[in-house]
Amino acid sequence: MFSTSIIPRVSETDGAGHINNTVAPVWLEAGRRELFRIFSPELRFDDWHLALVNTNLDYVAQIFWQRPVEVRTWVDHVGNSSFRLYEEIWQGETLCVKGTVTYVHFDYAAQRAAPVPEAARARLLEHRRAP
Amino acid sequence: MFSTSIIPRVSETDGAGHINNTVAPVWLEAGRRELFRIFSPELRFDDWHLALVNTNLDYVAQIFWQRPVEVRTWVDHVGNSSFRLYEEIWQGETLCVKGTVTYVHFDYAAQRAAPVPEAARARLLEHRRAP
Amino acid sequence: MFSTSIIPRVSETDGAGHINNTVAPVWLEAGRRELFRIFSPELRFDDWHLALVNTNLDYVAQIFWQRPVEVRTWVDHVGNSSFRLYEEIWQGETLCVKGTVTYVHFDYAAQRAAPVPEAARARLLEHRRAP
Amino acid sequence: MFSTSIIPRVSETDGAGHINNTVAPVWLEAGRRELFRIFSPELRFDDWHLALVNTNLDYVAQIFWQRPVEVRTWVDHVGNSSFRLYEEIWQGETLCVKGTVTYVHFDYAAQRAAPVPEAARARLLEHRRAP
């Protein structure tokens, strides 16, 4: 499991007084930073191999900017050329957002999916969520 | 159906050269502006009655910043105290993102769901997606 | 003068109820889209020649998300390898933000400033602000 | 001096491969979080007393998303009803952005500037930049 601490920003709130819903995908992507290194060790865009194909997020509780949040990131499933993560955003003892995101291992030059390399698969599975 | 034209921005691209995936929820929310008026005719936050509870988005094709996009917004289902929209982002002839978003009609003062008023239900159903 | 109409978004508001100050630079950059074509006719990043070096913005009045805004963009001065724009954000009859932004014509391969080409200079000067 | 460490995000890059210029104001505002507590100890928007009136930023060097950045925030000057901060963004040994931001102590109910309270003035001056 990857754990990422995030300090909310004024600019991430909205007029309803809480964190705007569009910020959750931003924080969840931020929580994948170390996972991205499995595919792009130096985080270089000319060495990028992932394409996001689905996000399915439940917004369970409002998030407020006054307190830090924690993003938790697990590997949920690794397929042939894709993998699915399970992710949560917590604020204190409150689960605020939970859901999945699916990436395809993508060959941008050929513009098509490519099998997940065995080394990457093994490293992903180290972060598998216990059933 | 609500149709909203959006001009992509440099700041919405990312280092991979296309529009970053976190921008799709921003554009989809922008596409709900007129629908929001059903519940908040003057779009005032002290008269806000909606809470987003789920988004489920398929990213079908990359979006580039060079050309305008169109957000299309339909009502998919209206329940007792919630409703679900079906939304698409098109760039030219290419469907790029599609998915659903579910809102609860929310009483922020009481911090709980409330039935969708009949007048709002009728107006929502005018924008229903043909089966 | 370039004029760009922008519809504010819920996600651009903040908890104080107005448009967050960090959104003004985003809208002002959006207002430079057609000006960018002077240097990058097809708006391609592998054909990008500009680097922003200064912004100086006065926030004169609050902006609210309920009504459209207009971004106005003039060329203020063209130097040897740089140029300065003067920009305004209006909401209805209210001037909300005004200021300047300075770009250097930049050779990203050589990582240094380069003279503004004569053709680009002539096209920039067509958008000069009357004294 | 306030020091704030920030981990850049994929969504903060742009197609030119670096951090987009519109992100600097976001990070600089994030760097004011503890300073905001001088005026709003619990960071509540119904207890907000500041209005940003000017930003003047020099973009000195490109910022890349691969490495953390540090935002440094000093108090530069405290006037009767306003104060000016001096701020920097560093990435490793490289100064990337520097500039000032000016706030007015604002009475949102009366919609006008109000004197900076003496207690706030004293606390601001604890963070003054050495000449």
pLDDT digits (tens, 9 = 90+) for B5-50: 999 999 999 999 999 999 999 999 999 999 999 999 999 999 999 9
Q: Residue C124: its pLDDT value, please? A: 98
* pLDDT greater than 90 at residue B119: yes
In chain C, where do the E strands start and end? 2-6, 50-59, 69-78, 82-91, 94-107, 112-113
Q: CA B116, B120, B125, B128 torsion: positive or negative?
A: negative
CATH code for the domain of C106: 3.10.129.10
* Local confidence band at D38 (pLDDT 50, 70, 90 cut-offs): very high
pLDDT digits (tens, 9 = 90+) for D65-90: 999 999 999 999 999 999 999 999 99
Evaluate whether residue C105 is within a structural domain: yes
Q: CA D10, A84, A89, C19 torsion: positive or negative?
A: positive
Domain span at residue A111 reads 2-125
Distance CA A11, CA C111 (A): 32
For the residues A105-124, what does the mean pLDDT come to?
95
Distance CA C25, CA C2 (A): 16
* Partners of residue B43 in chain C, C-beta under 8 Å: 65-66
Comparing CB atoms, the residue among C48, C54, C56 nearest residue D16 is C48
Q: How far is B64 from chain D (nearest CA, A)?
A: 10
pLDDT digits (tens, 9 = 90+) for C120-130: 999 999 999 98
B15 touches chain D (CB under 8 A): yes
Q: Residue D130: its pLDDT value, please? A: 81
For the residues A33-42, what does the mean pLDDT come to?
98
* pLDDT greater than 90 at residue A130: no
* pLDDT greater than 80 at residue D110: yes
ipTM of the complex: 0.96
Buried b / exposed e across D102-122, counting CB within 10 Å, b at 16+? bbbbbebeeeeeeebeeebbe
Evaluate whether residue C110 is within a structural domain: yes
Tokens of A32: 């994948």
Question: Are B25 and A29 in contact (CB < 8 Å)?
Answer: no
* pLDDT greater than 90 at residue A131: no
| Collapsed DSSP state (helix, strand, coil) of residue C120 | helix
- pLDDT above 90 covers a percentage of chain B that reads 96
B29 touches chain A (CB under 8 A): yes
Distance CA C78, CA C125 (A): 8
CA D30 vs CA A10, C21, C28, D70: distances in Å: 7, 12, 21, 11
Q: Residue A88: its pLDDT value, please? A: 98
Q: How many domains is chain C partitioned into structurally?
A: 1
- Who's near B116: CB < 8 A, 6+ residues apart? B78, B79, B80, B81, B82, B83, B105, B124
Which secondary-structure segment (H or E) carries B89?
strand B82-91
Evaluate whether residue C27 is within a structural domain: yes
Evaluate whether residue A97 is within a structural domain: yes
For the residues B119-124, what does the mean pLDDT come to?
98
Evaluate whether residue A130 is within a structural domain: no
For the residues A94-102, what does the mean pLDDT come to?
98
Q: What is the mean pLDDT of chain A?
A: 97
Evaluate whether residue D131 is within a structural domain: no
Q: Residue B130: its pLDDT value, please? A: 81
Phi, psi of B110 (to 5 degrees): -85, -10
Evaluate whether residue D130 is within a structural domain: no
Nearest chain B residue to D9 by CA: give it. B14
Phi, psi of B123 (to 5 degrees): -70, -40
For the residues A94-114, what does the mean pLDDT come to?
95
In D2-115, where do the E strands start and end? 2-6, 50-59, 69-78, 82-91, 94-107, 112-113
Evaluate whether residue B131 is within a structural domain: no
pTM of the prediction? 0.98
Longest Cα separation, chain B: 47
Give first-to-last CA distance, chain B, whole Å: 13
Report the candidate in B76, A46, C75, B123 with the shortest Cα–Cα distance to residue D13. Answer: A46
pLDDT digits (tens, 9 = 90+) for C11-20: 999 999 999 9
